[in-house]
Structure 1
Amino acid sequence: MGTIGYAAPEYAGGGQVSTAADVYSFGVVLFEIFIRRRPTDDIFKDELNIVKFIEASFPGRVLEIVDPQLLQELEETPMALKEKCSECLLSMLNVGLSCTKPSPGDRINMQEVAAKLHGIKDAYLNSIVSSSLATLHRYDVFPTLIALSVNGTKEIDVKPYPVIQGAGRFPQAILNLSTLTILELAANGLSGEVPPNLFTSLPDLQILFLGGNLFLGHLPSSFTNASNIQALDLSRNNFTGLMPTTIGKLTKLLSLNLENNELQAHNREDWEFLNSLGNCTELQMFSMGYNHLSGHVPSSLGNLSSQLQELYLTNNQLSGDFPSGIANLRNLIFVALGRNNFTGVVPMWIGTLKAVQVPMEIFRIPAITGIDLSFNSLDGQLPTGIGNAKQLVILRVSSNKLSGDIPNTLGDCESLEGIELDSNIFSGSIPTSLAKISSLKVLNLSTNNLTGSIPASLGSLELLEDLDLSFNHLNGEVPTKGIFRNATTLKINGNQGLCGGVKELHILACSDVPSNSTRHKESLVLKVVIPIACVVSLAVVIFGYLLWIRKHNSKSISLPSFSTKLPKVSFNDLTRATAGFSTPNLIGRGRYSSVYQGKLLEDQNEVAIKVFNLEIRGAHKSFIAECNALRNVRHRNLVPILTACSSIDSKGNDFKALVYELMPRGDLHKLLYSTQDYECSSDLNLIMMAQRISIVVDVADALEYLHHNNQETMIHCDLKPSNILLDDNMTAHVGDFGLSRFKVGSTMSSLGNPNSSSVAVMGTIGYAAPEASFPGRVLEIVDPQLLQELEETPMALKEKCSECLLSMLKVGLSCTKPSPGDRINMQEVAAKLHGIKDAYFDAN
């Protein structure tokens, strides 16, 4: 169970799966992050393993073994910060030591781990704030300062510590700048709660951008005092709770962006804020997409400002009828309600499903330019009144259950540039009126039930650059003019009745019209041969089907249902997204699966598609295990799953895949070891001390959640750097649950096979008790980069930095004790690491 070097030593002797084993693996990963050495490196042989390596150097020689990058960073650190940095490093390693005790009973749990790590992280960040924001404190001498912009996405000349980036809490010094009218602190990695007195301290604020940070808690209650605020952006944080009903006091508000948080609204009382928001009569943009809004959207949505131009409620759990009253928003130019659960309503007095259709009223809004209703469960027909939306530029209703004919009046939308009607149940022919839309650039009608021929008039659309008609029931000759000349921008596969077209399409040529002399022979064929062929074919199909049923019943394991409704994808969708699972799209390969990157839809972010190789024994169970693990877990430090696909491929074989959000920075292993000769290479990724601390804390939080805060205790069983993925913000996400186990009481079950309880270890793992020499020589074994960072740290800070390093390694040692009972659990690990991090940042 697990991977050699990361698996707990008790597994080597056939020990039971336990949370303490995950704690041990976490401790090893913690060590690896700070010393940049794999537990399988050649240096670790005979009786020496990574845990003993840390113990032998802790705490006196830690700086000799840490990553040289960290040493270099430490050297460049102001003297006042070096001591705090060292303290943080020691504290982190100390948590690792608590995780790697030989006996499972001696290890701390993940709740303790998370608490300690958060303390260490906060202390470290606060130290950096105290030092790096020294110039910010001097702003007090500018009583008339009206604008302050420190955006983490822009280059700042202070290195290695940007003015605020990664600096922890909101800088309190800013609250003294009472004349500020503009405050921009976006994308700086700030955490904690926004000061409750922010708006009372800065009463003149007109523009506030705090997006892209890590703020949490409820929205600050004092923002109702910001009577002058015009633009408020709190997006991409971790705010929770309800939207305050006092929001309507911001009467000058033009733009309100709260997307990508964890705000909630479930019942009528929770939605009361909409009534209040109606008092913001100048509001032009409102977004609460990517939150936890659910239930019916009240009709008071139609009472929002008549000046509203953009409305975004996408990616929530909204349901029921389409929001009524939306036609009152006469100046609306873009509405995004995609990826929700809009469905029919069940009238109790009838007992039958009332179909929700794409509402006619939305097309009566004369200024509407964009409609996104994709990935819902809307059915019915597309209204013929759509032709009234003369200004409509984008129409997206993909992945619904819309049926009937595509209305001819769609061709009256003369401003359309994009039409996406794919993955519905549209039937009938392709309207020739679409050729009237001279501005059309994208037309996607794929995966429907369209019949008839392809209108040759579509070739006259000079701006059309993407035409997807695949997977319908079209027939006849493919036109050869305009876009039909370019096989790379035209998709028509999956239509068995098509013929002709340019030769690059590689489809059969169209047959000549039969002559009179051959019609008698063809008649004979029709009367005799075809019936015989049909009977034989039918027999073959029935026989094949019976064999398939027998095989399927003997081998299949039911696909677990997810608690959250996920968008459906087919094998064909994934094939298109990955260019046929091509090698250029391949980004990783594991024991049971290969991972590809691709786009399910052109205008969306890339996703990671994990395709299971079902020919390998255990792959099917691994798929089921991941589904079981992911269906009920949701945490910011777990890899987010988007959907699953259980289908058959083009050859009729079983096909299983999972679709995740793509983590752009890849996995931690690649980040740590960017070249083969990583110890000598100058091409290594530069990973700052603060980033390493944050990664450790993120992983600890994920394991604490799995062990202690989930409905059932989940044991990962295979924690290692390659299973830790990083997003654009360097936030760590734990993934790959193919070996995970659930623990209910004292009962252990494999997620792929509830009857399985045995533990298999790949290879021989030898771990002995910690040596008595711990912790004297840690600085001799740490990553040389860390040593260089420490050398460049101001003298006053060196000791603190060393202490931090020793503490970190000590935690790692606590996680890697040979005996499972001796290891601390992940609660203890997280607690210690947070404490070390806080102390480190305090010192800096």
Structure 2
Amino acid sequence: MDSQTLAVHVPLSSKSDKIALLALKDKLTNGDPHALPSWNQSLHFCAWEGVTCSRPHMRVSALQLQNQYWGGTLAPSLGNLTFLKEINLTNINLHGEIPREVGHLKRLHILDLRQNNLQGQIPMEMINCSSLQVIALYYNNLTGKIPSWFGSMMQLTVLGLGANSFVGSIPASLGNLSSLELLSIAYNHLEGSITPALGRMSILKLLYMGVNNFSSQLPSSLYNLSNIQELSFTDNQLVGTLHSNLPMAFPNLQILECGGNRLTGTFPSSISNLSELQVFDSSENDFHGPISPTLGSLPKLQLFNVGHNRYGSGRADDLDFLSSLKNCTQLQVLAIENNYLGGVLTDLIGNLSSNLFWLSMGANQIYGRIPEAIGKLINLTLLGMDANSLEGTIPYTIGKLKNLVGLSLGVNKLLGNIPLVIGNLTMLSEVGLESNKFEGFIPFTLANCTKMERFYAHDNNLSGNIPTQIFSYQQGLVVLSLHSNSFTGPIPFDLGNLKHLSILRLQENKLTGEIPMGLSACSALTELALGRNSFHGSILSLLGSLLSLEILDLSHNNFSSTIPHELVNLTLLNTLNLSFNNLSGEVPVGGVFKNITAISLTGNKHLCGGIPQLNLPPCPALPLHKKHKRSIKKRVILTIAFAGFLIIFVTFISIYLLKKKAKKLSIKSLALQYGYVKVSYGELHQTTNGFSSSNLVGTGNFGAVYRGTLDHFERPVAVKVLNLQTRGASKSFVSECKALGKIKHRNLVSILTCCSSVDYKGNDFKAIVFEFMSNGSLETLLHNNVEDSESTNLSLNLVQRVNIALDVAFALDYLHNDSWEAVVHCDIKPSNVLLDDDMVAHLGDFGLARLINDATSHSSSNQASSSAIKGTIGYIPPEYGAGSSVSIEGDMYSYGIFLLEMVTGKKPTDGMFGEDLSLHMFCNMAIPERISEIVDSRLLIPWPIDEQERRGVRRHQNMEENFTEECVASFARIGVACSQEIPNEWMSIKDGITELHSIKQKLSC
């Protein structure tokens, strides 16, 4: 029904609804003129976004506006919409109070104001809304007591008050709600005893009371709730024991969470008869005794958490219950840490569920070796075995756990070398190997673990140099703890590339040399501990630029010269230990040096000055003739510096001229120039079976790619054969060899060698040999346009797409900012992104790449011609078509379109796009309200319930979808920001990485 028809049939009385809605909009959106654009005079209010009208009266019956960022308030005019049956204003950042006028809505059935910032008390006038069936106020800041008059709302089926700031006790009147199926009061500040009146709610299915301050025992009346399916009262102060016969009381129980209390008694073995049980959490209590060996009768068990109790007695049979868990084929989480469980782990552990992703058994009394069968649990993301008495070596089979994110083996008796197979675990984020007996070197394969954030290997017998080019691959590294070993040599200079490094502990080793200047670039450092080594030289004044530094320990070394005055700039520094060095001269008096308890200077015999509490001798006055000598010395230094500058300038000009001349060299010398292994045409002909179609992987603008195997390389290779009849092919070959010959990065396709020769017919032949990527191109996975590809069965989820986006972003950041010379790729698109065995993305096809110096030096008028346009239609920035020269900003535009293609699953050249609509416009118009309408349908999947929510307020299905949509919308925003029409509005690659990291962290929670 169009708006004109509505205007004819709507009664005059409905005009009051329009007035009320307009007043509501003004408060709801904070007066934002761009918000709710459909709420205008050209449309009838029944056609406005989020408004539903009843047919008989054409009055507003439902108001549904979700997932906005307005930050407004609820206007009293809401109470004038007297025909309202449903209000759904979830996640629109509301603040202020719930207006009393809500009490006028006597027809209201559903009031859903979840995930806002509402404050104040629930207005008493709501008692008039006697038809209410659902009250959902989760995740606000509501205060006061839970109203006792809720007990008069006899039609209520859902009462959701969780995640607020309610105080007081549970009103006994809630026991009158005979129709209630869900009651959530978790995550509040409630206290006192749990009222026995709750036991009268005979049809209650879901009861969440966790994270409050309830005390006393569970009332016995709760065991009358025979229909209960989910019961959670975690993190309170409850005492007593669990009912001895839970199956009889709760025959339908699926979730039982009682962790974080003061419950006592033995393990309730009767839970083995709860055939529907999925989650059992009794962690952080005072249970004791053995764990029942009959858990195998729980076929639906997914989470079993009994950590932080007193289970076990250190005996050999304490772990017998593990064998029964092999029948729990849906088990995902097994947590038994911080108990007294003894015994030996056997190969039976390999019989646990293949769905198991969390295995935590640290801080027990387990001994013996780590069984090789651990390698069968291939879906593990966390393996925690720390603080036991495990011995022997780490089994080689641990390299099969390729999904492992956290590995904790610290504080055991493990020995031998850290196995090379640790490099297979490319998803690792945190590794704990500390306080064992490991020896030997840090394995070079650790460089493959590019997602590493925390690495603990202190207090072992490791030796040798700390290797270069291992930790530099781990750009997200936050903690590196290698202290108390026997490392020698200098600090690797490339640690200065770790921009996120916060804690660096290298004390108590045998390290030598000076502090590398690169460390001053680690601006996130909060702790730098280098004590008890053999470092020498001066203390870098550049350390004064590390403004986040809180702890600096350089004690027990051979540092000389003076204390840099720049250290007074470190306003957060609270511990400075410079003791037992050879420092001399005046001690500064500002900053940390004013706090006698924060500094240690003992063992430096030639220091003077400082604050009086140091009791140091005063510094001698500097004689005038010495001052004059210093002035002369300063002039000499400036003269030498100027002469050095001239020498460097002349050298630079010479090198530049030589480089220009070198560009004319024959391409035949490329392999030698970059140190590649030489391959002949015959070898490439043989390995590709004569360049047969059976070995063909794909075709591109300038040639075809074949799969093969060469004796020089252990893994399969991809051979790109240039079609020299295609215009620009030879130039593409030169560009690609030149670009890839001097740049190396984990997210770039590695060039192995190149070949410039003649074929068997005497024709020119040019080919480039790359690493082979087993999962093919991203375009294949997005669009399934290769029917025979093994990878077409893969469906990329949101987490994988965000990881791929980050990988490509890291590659661009390196090309633009960190390579030897800035490189413009010129052709960012899914077909040029290749995926390896572990789904790590590698940017390839540098046939159009330009070194930035080349690009700028050739920005003449002839570049404005269409033939000079660099890239692929749909991904080319608009200004390229207008004659602008290539730039790193142009790459950002292409990257933005690339992201939007991953979000929507649509190419920028899709038939639906034309002059009036582009992929950028299509996404920009849909963010965030209509993101679900444009997104690739494979991304909108239900989100799993996290452990914190299981302990309190559980997400409903629509909440899970909203969370997924929120992340997808954030993903799309980055693509839109990178592909704006005006170049200076494009997002930088570093900002894009930050935003993508934020999405990744939300998805990993």
> Is TM (by shorter chain) over 0.5?
no
Higher relative contact order (CA 8 A, sep 6+): 1
If the length of structure 1 is used for normalisation, what is the TM-score? 0.41
